[in-house]
Structure 1
Amino acid sequence: MSDEWKASTAGDADAKSWKLLEATLQAGIREQRRARRWGIFFKLLTFAYLFVVLALFAPMLDLQKGAASSAGHTAVIEVRGMIADKEAASADNIVSSLRAAFKDEKTRGVILRINSPGGSPVQSGYIYDEIRRLRAEYPAIKLYAVISDLGASGAYYIASAADEIYADKASLVGSIGVTAAGFGFVGTMEKLGVDRRVYTSGEHKAFLDPFQPPKEEEAQFWKSVLETTHRQFIQSVKQGRGDRLKSEEHPELFSGLVWSGEQALQLGLVDALGSTSYVAREVIGEKELVDFTVEESPLDRFTKKLGASVAEHLAMWMGFQGPTLR
């Protein structure tokens, strides 16, 4: 055999080997893609199955949440986190919960279980007014506020509308004040050499602009707005608490300070120390608690998570997958 023929034969063998290896690799890749797509398919089937199950049983869960015993129950409404529009503790959610609780024929008493630093005076005011209206419409049903960790500012505003307020000895209660804060960037702008240009059609339209130096008359005006809101807050608390509030001996009650539950009891900010179960059992006389808090249903929460997950898996299944590093 000539050397040329041997080299040609070896070259053909190498080419065949590479083609065989390439075919094997491509077959493996196709198998992996097929397995991944089938895996995604079965995951989607599982999601669909869970979705159907939740759709069938979610109404039953909601009914059980608002269901009562044959005798009666204590309605509980949670006020958690910031009191603000679009939050869990918004006026819309709390007011809807209150109306449902008072309307239920088996409600023997209502407890607002509070753990909140406060928030919007407007949202708090809406809830305060609705509590007083419902108490007048349903005089036989008492409403109690129970403060757990924190009942401050707007949260205490709401609590003061209750028939009685309870707290733990270590709860933080009070903060009857109003605040508005921001930042000033005038010095920073000067150091950066940036010139701020604002055009308005009113003399004070940009008075809260953090990039311009404050004016004394505008600062005084803004302070008057806060003082007006503070006065409204104080009037509502006094109206709700009445003679129980020892504000004559302790004018610092309205300074924005907070106190422990034990101190708040001495100041008339709360009526007694106790938990939600204590108030239900010993004060209302109905130890069974039924939660009337308006919340997203399990189906709603699942649907939101499912939507994002399904979209991602469908894109992968249909081949719309971006580059990844592994």
Structure 2
Amino acid sequence: MDRSDKQRIEGIVQRILDDFGDDRAINKTDLCNEPDKTAIIDVIDKLMKILYPGYYSDKLYKIYSLKNNMSVIIEDVIFHLKKQIMIVLRYCKKFPELTDAELEDKAMDITYEFMDKIPQIRDYLETDIQAAFDGDPAAGSKDEVILSYPGLYAISVYRMAHELCLLDVPMIPRIMTEHAHSVTGIDIHPGATIGKYFFIDHGTGIVIGETTIIGEHVKIYQGVTLGGLSTQGGQKLKGAKRHPTIGDNVTIYSGASILGGETIIEDNVVVGGNTFITNSVEKDTRVTAKKQELQYKNN
């Protein structure tokens, strides 16, 4: 490296460092007070071992040591999740005056409440596994569903994140579901409400918005969007019902878009592929798009 290269590199380094000097969001460098995305993903991995002990647990442990092994994993999750929750609670407007000790106590209480929900989460997931097995003739076994279906993975992470969302934990639930999104291509907002026996088939490209409400025994195929009509209002729309409500025993085929907070798809509806729906649909209805006209030209 000659002298001119060294000077140019030093100049580039200095200009970049100078660019860190203002208060733009992109410049935040307070690492100790930011949630650790890697640590949160590690918590997800350990929680999956708790949800599905026979499938995700380390194979090094024998069945007779499962109890001791699980105790270690649970304690590890409690420690690291509490640490991350304590960090993000600083973002809550409800706790601006709490001391570090008070924040730690609050984070500990939330962590315990979440961990107490694990049996309930597993109860819901058992129904989701059953729905996937019953609803997919290609499923060879429930083991196959648990180990290979991206839809079940996305639902599993969502159900954990949703409980944290109900406990008013900021940031972490979204980090969790966006991790699942990056892995599976399925985007479920942790604020959505989803009933039992939920089945996502194939899954790639599915979007389920924050205020979506989904009943029980609902099946959704790839490319479905349950979204808002418009986000032009930006932050002014926060808290408003922006996404549709889906009743019980509804099937939504690939490529369908159902939009709007006032849009209600009632029970026992079948929504055909590539439909675009912005109005409510009465129960026991089948909605299909008019068949496109195909043209064939023979040279």
Q: Same fold (TM over 0.5)?
A: no
Q: Which has the higher contact order (CA 8 A, sep 6+)?
A: 1
Q: Give the TM-score of the pair, scaled to structure 2.
A: 0.25
Q: Give the TM-score of the pair, scaled to structure 1.
A: 0.23
- Select the structure that is richer in helix: 1
